[in-house]
Structure 1
Amino acid sequence: MNLPNVISELVKTQNNFDSAAYAQCFAETAVVFDEGKTHTGKKEIEQWIDKSNKDYKATMEPVDYDEKENILSAKISGTFPGSPIILKFHFEIADGKIQHLKVTE
């Protein structure tokens, strides 16, 4: 599977539970939508993923990538009910950084 560099880096930092490095994959004004909530800017994104890492200890295993639509399907395993689950990560990428991420089932 041929992932853009920034998505490969995002997966690596998630699996290392490195919230600061994870946030560096995003543009300064990036927006993340997950679990009905919107997180705007690197600082909020880092706080969101840090809390998620502590609460769920979730790891990502890419299973498919739609290059045309920039959608990564990944098996997410962690300490949450229903684990593992396949989630879709809808990316907008510009200048090597994630501008927008929406997580769906």
Structure 2
Amino acid sequence: MELPQLVAKFVEAQNTYDSGAYLTCFTETAIVHDEGKTYTGKEEIRHWIEEANEKYSAAVKPLQYEESGSKGLLTAEVSGTFPGSPIVLRFHLGLKDGLIDTLHH
């Protein structure tokens, strides 16, 4: 599947557990919603992704991607060390200036 460069970079950073590369996909003021919590800005997002990577070792296998204006929707199979793995998640991306400004699933 052909993914836009930003989304491909996001997936690769997740799959290699590279929090530095992961952060380069986001705006400075990005907001991530995950498991009922909100993380704002790169520093909070860095702490969140490093903790999540250590805890869940999640890998993302893209199944479908749609983009319309400033919104992207990545449907992917996510596997890792969490109950119910693997599962299919929908990553809702808010896009701004070629980066991810919001992320929730």
**Structure 2-normalised TM-score?**
0.93
**Equivalent runs, 1:58-73 vs 2, <5 Å:** 58-68=58-68, 69-73=71-75
The equivalent of 1:38 in structure 2 is: 38
Q: Report how many residues are paired.
A: 103
Offset at 1:19?
A: 1.0
The equivalent of 1:15 in structure 2 is: 15
Matched to 2:57, the amino acid is K
Which consecutive residues of structure 1, in runs of 5 or more, have no partner in the other structure? none
Q: Distance in 2 between matches of 1:90 and 1:2?
A: 18
Pick the aligned partner of 2:81 from 79, 82, 91.
79
Offset at 1:46?
A: 0.9
Offset at 1:3?
A: 2.0
The equivalent of 1:29 in structure 2 is: 29
> For each residue in 1:33-55, what CA deviation from the matched residue of structure 2 results, as whole angstroms up to 9, or x when unmatched?
11111000011111101000000
Q: Distance in 1 between matches of 2:45 and 2:39?
A: 6
What is the CA RMSD across the aligned residues, in angstroms?
1.0
The percentage of aligned residue pairs carrying the same residue is 50
The equivalent of 1:48 in structure 2 is: 48
After superposing on structure 2, the runs of 4+ consecutive aligned residues of structure 1 that deviate more than 6 Å are none
SS of equivalent residue, structure 1 residue 70: strand
Offset at 1:98?
A: 0.5
Offset at 1:73?
A: 0.4
Offset at 1:66?
A: 1.7
